[in-house]
Homo-oligomer: A and B are copies of this chain.
Amino acid sequence: MTDVPKRLLLGRALRSDRLSETLIPKRIALPVFASDPLSSVAYAPGEVLLVLSIAGVSAYHFSPWIAVAVVVLMFTVVASYRQNVRAYPSGGGDYEVATTNLGRRAGLTVASALLVDYVLTVAVSISSGVENLGSAVPFVVEHKTLCAVGVIVLLTLMNLRGVRESGKLFAVPTYCFVLGVFALLAWGAVRAGVFGDEMRAPSASYGIHTDESGLSGFALAFLLLRSFSSGCAALTGVEAISNGVPAFRKPKSKNAANTLAMMGLIAVTMFCGVIALALATHVRMAEDPADNLLIDGVPAGAGHHQDPVISQVAAAVFGDGSLPFIYLAAATALVLFLAANTAYNGFPLLGSILAQDRYLPRQLHTRGDRLTFSNGIVLLAGAAAILVVVYEADSTRLIQLYIVGVFVSFTLSQTGMVRHWNRLLRTETDPARRRRMHRSRAINAFGAFFTGLVLVVVLVTKFSHGAWVSLLGMALFYVLMTAIRRHYDSVSEELSAEDPGERAPRPARVHAMVLVSKIHKPTLRALTYARLMRSDTLEAVTVNMDQQETDQLRAQWDERGIDIPLTILDSPYREIARPVIDYVRRLRKESPRDVVSVFIPEYVVGHWYEHVLHNQSALRLKTRLLFTPGVMVTSVPYQLESSELAKRRARRREQWNAPGSVRRGPAARTPGHKGTGNRRTGRRSGTGPSQRDGK
């Protein structure tokens, strides 16, 4: 019934080939997994300058030092994750590492942090993408919130329709972007170094108003730390590769580690280059441009839009409005939207792993359960849209929320890795291996220490600026997932079969009944099938809703000579369910050890409105019967012609590819499983040794 509006809105799901077993090569893996960290060069440098501007333009000279700190951190994190990738090639990522080594709570904390992060990746990347696009297309920046929500809706529809994340789709814009930035850096260096041009950014002549010029001591240190925290936005998404190891070609771990190193190198080069060019072209960024950015000595006012650093630098180097400038703005926006899309792909991946551990509904674990994935996607998009609307698509304000989650998972993951090596070292005796382990442990320990330190810095400097929102979100996810797990555990305990020895008294006989309303094909089919089942007793039951119809039924029964007794249940209030339920209950009471088997002829229909017109009573009766102990309910379907429609719809739905399929890689085909071709059947009366499939 929900299918029709969806189809009207989304069109038919794209027919796409089944997830192939092809694994992705490094040159494709880089854009698939690195669009998020690479794209952050579009906003991270600006955030560094922006925070520094609080202490006045003079504070900009600290920015190279902050860049150095970010680079060191980046190398640390990349080096650490190269260890992760080698130690855990299964793709569980930080969640798996934390759970395995630090326990369930730590793992769940990491999972909550990552879920919040996915939401923020969408919100921040799209807001920043809109800002970058806006530097070339003024309309976009004038309707920032609207455009950002529009992009979210577009991405959501795309993912609901089942557009498969394809390597090529990611490769082209990401490489275009990287190429564009490197061209920018190179041309900027040539112009400055070779031609000695004086390049001036559009904001070069602006002044920065500050209440706190000449900040010093603790306040300055705090500001530098805050600036550093903002710069750390460049590190978001680094962990993505560690979740995607199974999708790599062999040798998986090695390829993943090398891709990680490549990504780190490109990211820091771009980051440092943009900061250097920003200083060279005298870019001015203010934290609150309406009040603090002075144009000819006057505050810029609410109508002024501060362009991102990368577009200001491009304007200075290439010329404002020039073709390369527009190319770079478009490529930046596109790569940012792709980065947002990675969250749409990463979410089902993480969801599937969490579902396997029963922290989320189990059906998330199966591929192709479109409905469930759709709910997840809508949840993700809804939360991101709320953030975008509340924060007016202002990437600067959204970034305050962003990096908390990342560093929570970095720190816990690296701590977990230290424990991992400790454990291995306890049993490892080979000196060469021990040496390698010691080295890995040292790297992870440093990573844990450094990222932990950054986490503290981020929390201290950003808590009141918005980080509390992230923490709240994490807490909500944590509580929800704990509750789901607790529910599954309690049900599992309730259901667990007791010892094979002590068994409940076996039911003795089956009393079968076929519900009959009139004699037509579905009824006849149900009678035939019920007879085949050879229950101990079999009767047909009808509810007398209308005496005339009942008399007619009885006459036809005679006429056809159906050799099954027909019981007529009285229904003084023209109900169907109650007389049947009462009858079944009485049967159960008369012989409590018997099982009652109820056969219900059912029409299978194709249109949603047919569901309204048919089967309602049967469905409700079925639901009611399931509450009655000692009953089994058999649907005997009769496929109406229109059911072909629904069948085709179901088949189409089956061909849908969940987002994240590529990242997940094909399901592990462990040896020893049996193909669907193998089966054994045996007589139910067989008392010999049980026959089993395979082995």
Contacts and interface: CB of A to CB of B under 8 A. Distances in A.
A558 interface: yes
A610 B487 contact: yes
A512 B603 CA distance: 22
Interface stretch (A113-121, A308-316, A633-641): A633-641
A427 interface: no
A566 B647 CA distance: 29
Contacts of A565: 680-682, 690-693
A616 B362 CA distance: 9
A218 interface: no
A539 B627 contact: no
Interface in A566-594: 566-579, 582-583, 586
B612 A361 contact: yes
A510 B365 CA distance: 33
Contact of A682 (B492, B564, B654): B564
Interface stretch (A129-137, A163-171, A668-676): A668-676
Interface string A651-695: 000100000000000111110111110111111101110111111
A634 B637 contact: no
A432 interface: no
Contact of A520 (B497, B550, B597, B674): B497
B559 A667 contact: no
Contacts of A680: 539, 565, 567
A616 B693 contact: no
B631 A632 contact: no
B650 A616 contact: no
A559 B497 CA distance: 13
A482 interface: no
A666 B575 CA distance: 12
A597 B367 contact: no
A616 B372 contact: yes
Contacts of A3: none
A426 interface: no
A369 B495 CA distance: 33
Contacts of A507: 528-529, 532
Given A583-B676, A632-B636, A673-B544, A693 B534 contact: no
A210 interface: no
Contacts of A668: 547
A543 to B, nearest CB: 9
A464 interface: no
A652 to B, nearest CB: 13
Contacts of A631: 637
A520 B492 CA distance: 8
Interface string A203-229: 000000000000000000000000000
Interface string A7-33: 000000000001100000000000000
Given A529-B632, A539-B681, A681-B565, A579 B491 contact: no
A614 B567 CA distance: 36
Interface in A608-636: 610, 612-614, 616-617, 620, 622-627, 629, 631-636
A522 interface: yes
B640 A633 contact: no
A520 B695 CA distance: 23
Interface in A256-293: none
A687 B561 CA distance: 10
A90 interface: no
A425 to B, nearest CB: 27
B557 A532 contact: no
Contacts of A672: 547, 551
A233 to B, nearest CB: 35
Given A361-B613, A632-B637, A529 B595 contact: yes
Given A520-B492, A554-B695, A683-B537, A604 B626 contact: yes
Nearest to A597: B533
B684 A534 contact: yes
Interface of A: 18-19, 356, 361-363, 365-369, 371-372, 484, 487-488, 491-492, 494-497, 500, 506-507, 509-512, 519-524, 528-529, 531-535, 537-539, 544-547, 550-551, 554, 557-579, 582-583, 586, 595, 597, 599, 602-604, 610, 612-614, 616-617, 620, 622-627, 629, 631-641, 643, 646-647, 650, 654, 666-670, 672-676, 678-684, 686-688, 690-695
Given A368-B575, A531-B684, 7 more contacts: A369-B575, A495-B640, A507-B528, A558-B690, A565-B691, A604-B627, A627-B646
Q: Which 10 A-B pairs have the closest CB atoms?
A: A538-B684, A626-B637, A495-B520, A547-B670, A634-B634, A565-B691, A567-B679, A534-B534, A363-B616, A500-B560
23 contacts: A18-B573, A361-B616, A362-B614, A362-B616, A363-B616, A363-B617, A365-B574, A366-B545, A497-B521, A507-B532, A509-B532, A535-B684, A538-B684, A551-B672, A565-B680, A567-B680, A567-B681, A569-B676, A573-B667, A604-B626, A604-B627, A632-B636, A635-B635
